[in-house]
A and B are shown apart, each in its own frame.
Chain A
């Protein structure tokens, strides 16, 4: 199977190269057969990489340790689903996975759009395959997952060597969330290649209307959704697996996923201005170029060990190649953009600073500022070292301090933006829209203040959340009332139909609401408290309205790991509410046995009780238990679900247009007829 994998990679490399050449040459020579051949080659690449993926999965499943990558990332006793997910447990495999997703997206996009956009598509193929070529080259020459384990004997030629057992998958990655987190994240990262490719194709063919935007609108949303899911699952994973009580630590790798998300979000918003008003054309190009580059940069940060990180999966040579790719892609795209500037003239004018248009611009500004702050903080250790010669750390306190005000401002805009009219809004209109939400928000702020929420930022963010929620509710209410008075539908029907008839707008509001919930959960972090104690059986530990009692301390042994486990009872106001089972695990594979923390969480809408088994005392009789009281954390995950649901709604086609004939081109016969008629 390894040989088949190698063959598939080599074939993919050749076919990708052919696809680029055939597409470009075909356009040059106006040779349609060649263009079609290039298209098929692009789809063929997908078949090749898929074969390679299947081979790698198979080799993992049968634990073939003659393959270096498998020996390093798996072991015999690993459960099957972790064996398969080990495909993306290390560098070689995760890059292969990236490359595979790219070819998957490419194949789907090509099949979907070939007939609709026949002039643009060859270029789209060329751009996608150029990106793919970089990855297939990496797979084949730099980080080949099918390389054999080599055993070097002094003086002898290297021999293949089959270790008896593998070194095991990093225990931190042996978690259900880690099975799906990387695929989601990568689906997000890679997905932005689609709008990027269309943007490039639009510039090359000079078809700079909003066709490329409308064509890729859903692809962008899909990528954005997956990236959001990926980021949230990463947070959930950290929360469950790292055991320090929080879910976001501003680690370079987390930041790496945040940056394309922020710019991608800006892009999703600002394309609306181009669609509705034909403005911001250059800006949208800049945004999609940046989003794509940031996605690749994110992969680079994760994979190169350029910046130190808890995710320190890999210190490897891929960094240089990635940097080269980024530089080539960025300069190529920017050159193209510069060259096409004359074609990207704005069709309309901005009329007022108080208008939907300008609110979109401010939204973009804030999102980009947030992205810049994250980027700056992530890179600052390197910058500082270069400038002053001394190393420096940029940790969570920095990011929190800088980003919290930016995020609150963003919330404000989330509430204000959608209520402003296009073109301009007079004071009278403003008053209509904002009076009540503002009053409600301020009132809730006052109430909360006197009920003891006096943390400035937390209070502010709750006030903002209420404000945004009020505006969203108002939008739905007003829309549904207007609709039901026109159609005679009941209010509820009107809400549903309203949403289904303009999925993008109302789905968008639901996404905003998800963001509000997420934000509320996030502000709860300001009130986290914790307690810690050495506890023997029967000992209790109080925290706020809860009390923990140790019922049992014991050992669990499985082939993959051994663990110490505590059984605790959790009492709320003296009433038992749950059993909790925090563990400390020691994974057996590899030379260094790695301990991990398995936390146990009691989660309610009000707060989480998060229990960590820190270890035992020296005499082995007591357990050191740490417990965190994390207010509102559940709302982060609920917010995430709402956000995804909203995106899914926004992806639906508007009702009414579902059964309309697709607007794409006429059939061949029709065309011929017309041609005859005209001549």
Chain B
């Protein structure tokens, strides 16, 4: 018979008190350290009224920052999605030498400081960098310009999709793809009709996290941006500028948009985990 956990085993009073204390301690920490900062964002954003809030959001510089953020994410996320799928396919469907090294390399951007992530592109493409003189000759500007923002964002968000897909596709194995091949499907048919349906929720999950990070990245982008208002300012950078100008209402108004994005991401993520948990099940127990 399957063991059934009794509804109300006789527990001592002392034990119930300990349980209550542990729960209280954990929840207080979550509320004080996590929820309070989130609440602060929205409260501060609306402190001076809805009018000021809306004005800050539709300010031309804010709009420019929002557009730039969307543009950067619109380039970086698809690039890393395609990369993630290709990397996962190579890593899970074939055996080759150096696989472990490749896996570590894919994970690497997670453990590099955002500032270092920006720094390496400055050293590569900046005026003093390897390709600096060559780029200058042809009047191509990568650093302190949009391409630099995109590159830095691509770097920091590179692992997200691959990280979700690799453990899942590893655990699924390649039986189904092999069956499709035996039944006469072409390579692309196999991928689109067999592989993709099996990994779609994990893929979406990875894209979601990738996008959240792409839109919210600060350190790496800050280093390569040069903070040119209206030109190379993404939303997080705009928040910083407004905050340093003591325009707190404005800073928090733009920040509230980012916080809202974070909440939507969390909500969607929780929904995916709840609804499609089994199909994401092989996720490695790692953060990002």
Do A and B share a complex? no
* Chain B residues engaging chain A, CB cutoff 8 angstroms: none
* Chain A residues engaging chain B, CB cutoff 8 angstroms: none
